[in-house]
Amino acid sequence: MSAALSISYTTLVEQLFLDITLNDVINKTSVLPVVEPWATMYVDAILDSRFGDAVWARYHIDGEVHNGTIDGSPGLTVLESIKEDAIGYRVNAPEQYFEARPFYEGTSRTDGHPDVIEIILDASLVEVPEGADEENEEDEEL
């Protein structure tokens, strides 16, 4: 059975890194700009369960990556930004991060960006400072 059969076009397949629905990309109805060839790559990668490729396309989809760095960032490359985001999710949204891990563990062996998957999964190895989870829970209650 293909993983593509269970992929929804109208809901997020994963909320942290793949935060635009396929429908919004295909129909160009996202609040974010979506540019080619990244929009097509994003959709195709998700449908093929190549989630590293999909995340890579997502970080490029708005056309804000030039000369290997993300516009508006302090010179961050895409991989550095993914790592920063993965660690941020691990520390600040641990429940969602650990819910997303099995999704990324199920990426296709044909994925062209296994380094992206490795970065996302390796964020689980980051030591969270004592009390950080409690601080996050307090912030959510406010």
Residues 111-140: pLDDT tens digits?
999 999 999 999 999 887 776 555 554 444
What is the model's pLDDT at position 127? Answer: 84
Q: Which residues, listed in sequence order, are joined to residue 66 by a DSSP beta bridge?
A: 69
Asked if the structure places residue 136 within a domain, the reply is no
Asked if the structure places residue 135 within a domain, the reply is no
Whose CA is closest to 4, among 55, 52, 47, 53? 47
Asked if the structure places residue 134 within a domain, the reply is no
* Alpha-carbon span 19 to 41, nearest angstrom: 15
DSSP state string for 23-46? HHHHTT--SS---TTHHHHHHHHH
pLDDT tens digits for 85-97? 999 999 999 999 9
Asked if the structure places residue 137 within a domain, the reply is no
Higher pLDDT residue, 5 or 81? Answer: 81
pLDDT tens digits for 28-66? 999 999 999 999 999 999 999 999 999 999 999 999 999
Asked if the structure places residue 18 within a domain, the reply is yes
Maximum Cα interatomic distance, the chain, rounded to a whole number of Å: 45
Q: Which domain holds residue 64?
A: 9-128
What is the model's pLDDT at position 131? Answer: 64
- Indicate the pTM of the whole model: 0.87
136 CB contacts (<8 Å, ≥6 apart)?
91, 92, 93, 94
